[in-house]
Structure 1
Amino acid sequence: MAEGRIAGEQVRVGIVGTGFVARLRAEALQTITGARLVAVAGHSAADTEVFAQQYGAVALKTWQDLVDYHDLDLVMVCHINRDHDTVAAAALHCDRHVVVEYPLALSSEAAQPLLSLAETKQRLLHIEHIELLGGTHRALKTHLQAVGQPYYARYCTLAPNRPAPPKWTYCPDLFGFPLVGALSRLHRLIDCFGPVARVYCQNHYAGFYTGPDAIPYYTTCLCTAQLTFATGLIAEVVYGKGADVWATSRRLEVTGNQGHLCFEGDQGTLSDADGTHPIEVGSRRGLFATDTAQVIDHLLTGQALYCHPAASLYTLQVATAAQRSAATGRVVEVA
């Protein structure tokens, strides 16, 4: 992708959102001499004003005001998943570079035109996938050859939450289908094992109620998918959260014809013909700061980024296929 570079020594940044990720982005920008947070727009005027004062930025009423703001090079989209594609498209049309948290959109069909728009506008469209920067993923890729030919993988993340919070992440309309909203669960595996041939998915919601915004929220979600990769490898993905999830789990394992890798929490082991051995797993801390610094460096110097938007779009195509499978009860072929 041919992208316009920033003229000058500093990237002027606007942030859409005032939540957890937006704060991590703002804190990271304060440590980078080549960037300056200029403006912010959030859902609540009061929260936006407090956020802007804390980080020395201008508080704007709406995201539309922010993407139109005259003094910006880069827009960081850090709010509800449902609106990612809308805000990203508006920012690109205003000739801004764009960073957006995954997913780019709630379907691959909605996301595809944005890559073409960024190409036409010669602007950066970077979709954050910090799971690729974390210690677990780096350790997995470092030791993957030790298992020989991998034929099975399983990735399970379960998060009990009682009572389930009335947050947008528990709303299908705002968060998206579970494996779309939690796209990293698929992206990590696809980064390691390549294209997916077919997917079969099942999804369970429980405890639906109507929120104050008159749209449905749930208290429990459990989504499972079986992926058959083009190589023949079979992978199982389990994602669950909420009130009826009773045990915490963060476990990733890969089995091959010469060994087995297992990552549980922040610990890793390799089992092979010589026994089971611990392996070093790096930290998960500071990944948004790393991502932010890489984006600024890319815009100022042209240094390559760690993830191309086409890779995220492909994973979103697999997630969209999983959503169709859950809706129809059928195996779905991935183009």
Structure 2
Amino acid sequence: MYDFEPPSANTKLRVGLVGTGYAAKHRAEALVNAARVNLVAIAGHTPEKTTALAQEYSTQAIDSWQDLVQRQDIDLVIISTINRDHGKITRAALNNGKHVIVEYPLSVDFQEAEELVALAKTQNKLLHIEHIELLGGLHQALKQQIAKVGDLFYVRYSTINPQHPAPRKWTYNHDQFGFPLIGALSRLHRLTDLFGKVLTVNCHQRYWETESEYYQTCFCTAQFCFANGLLAQVVYGKGETLWQSERKFEVHGEKGGLIFDGDTGILVQAEESTPIEVGTRRGLFAKDTNMVLDHLFDGTPLYVTPEASLYTLKVADAAQRAAKTGLTIFLTE
């Protein structure tokens, strides 16, 4: 828990944004539409993109994130850049007395993430790790319907994204994206949020290479045995060597199943099958941003804690170790 002083109701929270990509643009849009904040500056990797985004939202472009986190006229830093840099930017921002919002993962290294959660408490600053998958229509529908299928025994979550050709960008870069289930941490965070603690992890993964730093295809499959006896399988793949797109979440229980295929959901039981309404995925970055502002100004609770995200990262780190060693990894408290 944090016990920092909330911003004055008569002053605006001064925000610096790191990044110029998809998430950063949604953050900027949310910030300029929020009455309680002032977007002071944007720092990005490419000067041309940084200048263009800053001009679009009538703010200042800064050459580097190092300069941004040291500015005295910034209270909150939002980190929406490549996964590899999340940890070091978060550390620098906290050490400079800033509140932090960072897109998942907090770090591609579990030990560093542990240190950062502890540092935020020491500095008495907010550290919020974005997990908008918990706010989306699929997750909300799952939580509303899951009791209807009885005692659970198996879950399968598959996201496969063919790309022909594969883009040469940071999401296909070993170093910049990280291990697949760390870079795509939301796949596991859905599970830990719904089903709790994990006992054992098995994982296998493969890359199809095009050059040393970039790959053309990634495919990863993992199994998780939860403390409640549930067995979960996660499949994650992207790139040129995949041929059929899939976004499917299945929950199987003794009284029925929940099958979500894309944006379509169905409850399957012995007597009948019932369609499930799945809400939109639109506007979630704005919702996350506004919830953080409500928390800072009014003390309202957030939908996710740093500790919850850190635990999921621990599970993802176990999957990485399982993939490297070929061994079953046992998780302890």
2:269 aligned residue: 272
Q: How does 1:156-175 map to 2 (within 5 A)?
A: 156-175=158-177
1:40 is displaced (CA, Å) by 0.6
Long gaps (5+) in structure 1? 211-215
2:304 aligned residue: 307
- Size of the alignment, in residue pairs? 330
2:284 aligned residue: 287
1:45 aligned residue: 47
Judge conservation of contact 1:220–1:244 (CA < 8 Å) in 2: yes
2:8 aligned residue: 7
TM-score normalised according to structure 1 size: 0.97
2:36 aligned residue: 34
**Is 1:316–2:313 an aligned residue pair?**
yes
- Aligned-partner Cα distance in 2 for 1:122–1:146: 42
2:222 aligned residue: 225
- Give 3-state SS (helix, strand or coil) of 2:113's partner: helix
Q: Which amino acid aligns with 1:289?
A: A
Q: Which amino acid aligns with 1:299?
A: L
1:135 is displaced (CA, Å) by 0.2
2:251 aligned residue: 254
- Give 3-state SS (helix, strand or coil) of 2:144's partner: helix
Judge conservation of contact 1:3–1:124 (CA < 8 Å) in 2: no
Q: How does 1:1-335 map to 2 (within 5 A)?
A: 1-4=1-4, 5-8=6-9, 9-210=11-212, 216-335=213-332
Q: Which amino acid aligns with 2:236?
A: Y
1:3 is displaced (CA, Å) by 4.0
- Superposed CA deviations along residues 113-170 of structure 1, whole A, max 9, x for unmatched, are 1111110111100000000000000000000000111110000000000100000000
- TM superposition outliers: structure 1 runs of 4+ over 6 Å: none
- Superposed CA deviations along residues 274-299 of structure 1, whole A, max 9, x for unmatched, are 21110111111110010011111111
Q: Which amino acid aligns with 1:53?
A: Q
1:192 is displaced (CA, Å) by 0.5
Judge conservation of contact 1:80–1:174 (CA < 8 Å) in 2: yes
Q: Which amino acid aligns with 1:310?
A: E
Judge conservation of contact 1:107–1:317 (CA < 8 Å) in 2: no
- Give 3-state SS (helix, strand or coil) of 1:219's partner: strand
Q: Which amino acid aligns with 2:81?
A: H
Identity, % of aligned positions: 53
1:50 is displaced (CA, Å) by 1.4
TM-score normalised according to structure 2 size: 0.98
Q: Which amino acid aligns with 1:248?
A: S
Judge conservation of contact 1:6–1:73 (CA < 8 Å) in 2: no
1:321 is displaced (CA, Å) by 0.3
Root-mean-square deviation (CA), in Å? 0.9
1:35 is displaced (CA, Å) by 1.3
- Give 3-state SS (helix, strand or coil) of 2:56's partner: helix
- Aligned-partner Cα distance in 2 for 1:137–1:313: 19
Judge conservation of contact 1:74–1:98 (CA < 8 Å) in 2: yes
Long gaps (5+) in structure 2? none
- Give 3-state SS (helix, strand or coil) of 1:311's partner: helix
- Aligned-partner Cα distance in 2 for 1:281–1:20: 23
- Aligned-partner Cα distance in 1 for 2:261–2:271: 21
